[in-house]
Amino acid sequence: MTRAAGPLPPGATVGILGSGQLGRMLAVAARQHGYGVAVFSPDADSPAEAVADRALVAPYSDLDAIAAFARGVDVVTFEFENVPAAAAAAAAEWAPVRPAGQVLHTTQHRLREKRFLSGAGIPVAPFRAVDSAADLEAALADLGVPAVLKTAGFGYDGKGQFKLTDAAPETQAAAMAMLAGQPGVLEAWIPFERELSVIAARSVTGEFRAWPAFENRHRHHILDVTLCPADLPPGVAVRAEGLARAVLERLDVVGVLCVELFLRADAELLVNELAPRPHNSGHLTLEASVTSQFEQQLRAVCGLPLGETDTCPAAMVNLMGDLWAQGEPRWSAALALPGVHLHLYGKRAPRPGRKMGHLTVLGPTPELAAERALAARAALTGG
């Protein structure tokens, strides 16, 4: 039976489903505040396991193991949205799960997410469900090209996506081959000016806090650089935060959630995706904000008051496994530059495209901070 809700003081144990870098940084925040940490993951020797009090290694489909895990903690949260909703439901029999399983159910499936957003009156790109070649042909007739076909479930960092620049039969066949029999969603191509993220939190009592809107720059569909705050036309930042508040309130989120947005040239905003947990773009809050996104997640799921989100100008750059191609990066060269903060995630095997860590730099302006962060990353390989 689920334990009664109420503030959980230091000494309680936070259970995290998932044990990657997000779980690791959440675990560090929990340990700093005096909480115990348990992690559950199919992967042994994972980043979060190294800083947790205990780890249970089992597949998410093992609902008996999930139940045993939940019985040993005081609250359960998750580090990424691809944990099966059934696992969250099994955990909820024994401990509060925050955010709740219904949030996972909605956000881990692109079509459900788009339908939720559209039904809530939140602006999104035009979209159509695609389950067959006939569906794709009809959807392209409605939306035109270019367009993007995406798998409905379990996609991130550009995975499970196919851009159609024409509607030729061979192009449609290649797009359907990418789906590999999975349900899909076709989205109209949005000619956006910039990609933004608003990371916000909501407490058990409905208290809401948001960080300033961040600007995100991608490379190969993976976040490369984040600038904070984003340089936005008048009113855009307020509208972006309003969209984030609407999402968290309509989904009844308890915890941190990231709203990824497109900013069009006409200053209109469209919501692209939701991530119901701390987000890569929010890593700079560790140094730049009064309260980091990880501390805020801890506060929210433990039923505590949320922290202030005042944030100074900063930038973050991701460190991908490619940086190890010529051997160990030159850490001293990067750390010799002023204001550089290094975070490594404890992953043993660097691979191209794998997130191994990040650098954060504070600065007088976001653009200057980004220049310094990029210079520090270049110094890692002698660039």
**CATH number of the domain encompassing residue 239:** 3.30.470.20
* Chain-centroid distance, C-alpha 186: 22
Residues 266 and 138 in one domain: no
Residue 111 lies inside a defined structural domain of this protein: no
Q: Which of 81, 97, 113 is the last residue of a domain?
A: 97
**229 preceded by a cis bond (ω within 30 of 0):** yes
Distance of alpha carbon 94 from alpha carbon 70, whole angstroms: 6
Q: Give the CATH number, domain containing residue 140.
A: 3.30.1490.20
If asked whether residues 236 and 178 sit together in one domain, one would say: no
In a domain? residue 252: yes
Stated pTM of the model = 0.95
41 belongs to a structural domain:
yes
Q: Is residue 6 one of the residues assigned to a domain?
A: no
Q: Are residue 175 and residue 199 in the same domain, yes or no?
A: no
Residue 24 sits in a domain whose CATH number is 3.40.50.20
Q: 72 and 214: one domain? A: no
Q: What share of the chain is helix, strand, coil (3-state, %, to 5)?
A: 30, 30, 40
**8 Å CB contact between 276 and 112:** no
Type of residue found at 318: N
AA identity, residue 44: A
Residue 81 lies in a domain: yes
Indicate the number of domains in the chain.
Answer: 3
In a domain, 24, yes or no: yes
Residue at a domain's end among 166, 188, 210: 188
pLDDT tens digits in sequence order for the chain, 383 residues long: 555 457 999 999 999 999 999 999 999 999 999 999 999 999 999 999 999 999 999 999 999 999 999 999 999 999 988 888 899 999 999 999 999 999 999 999 999 999 999 999 999 999 999 999 999 999 999 999 999 999 998 666 557 899 999 999 999 999 999 999 999 999 999 999 999 999 999 999 999 999 999 999 999 889 999 999 999 988 999 999 999 999 999 999 999 999 999 999 999 999 999 999 999 999 999 999 999 999 999 999 999 999 999 999 999 999 999 999 999 999 999 999 999 999 999 998 999 999 999 999 999 999 999 999 999 999 999 97
Using only C-alpha atoms, the chain has a radius of gyration, in whole angstroms, of 21
Q: Which pLDDT belongs to residue 154?
A: 65
Reduced to 3 states (helix: H, G, I; strand: E, B; else coil), residue 329 is coil
**Within-domain flag for 5:** no
Query: Does residue 64 belong to any structural domain of this protein?
Result: yes
The pair of structure tokens assigned to 374 is 């990029």
**Do 166 and 286 reside in the same domain of the chain?**
no
Beta bridge partners of 21: none
DSSP 146: S
Residue among 109, 94, 76, 82 at smallest CA distance from 20: 82
- How far apart, in Å, do the first and last CA atoms of the chain sit? 57
Q: Is the dihedral of CA 249, 251, 255, 256 positive or negative?
A: negative
CA distances from 369 to 220, 312, 331, 332 (A): 22, 11, 19, 19
Q: Are 22 and 80 in contact (CB under 8 A)?
A: yes
Hunting for tokens 């569906």 — which residue is that?
A: 135
Question: At which of 76, 97, 118 does a domain end?
Answer: 97
Do residue 184 and residue 230 come from a single domain? no
Q: With left for phi above 0 and alpha for psi between -120 and 50, is residue 144 left, alpha or beta?
A: left
Contacts 24+ apart (CB under 8 A), 216-224: 216/260, 216/281, 218/158, 220/158, 220/353, 221/157, 221/158, 221/159, 221/161, 222/157, 222/158, 222/318, 222/320, 222/353, 222/355, 223/157, 223/280, 223/281, 223/318, 224/317, 224/318
> Based on the domain organization, do 162 and 199 belong to the same domain?
no
Range of the domain at 58: 13-97
Angle, vertex CA 301, rays to CA 299 and CA 306, nearest 5: 30
Only one residue has tokens 């940084």, namely 25
Same domain, 177 and 263: no
User: 236 and 345 share a domain?
Assistant: yes
Residue entry with tokens 């061979």: 170
* Same-domain status, 75 and 42: yes
231 lies in the same domain as 354: yes
Same domain, 339 and 354: yes
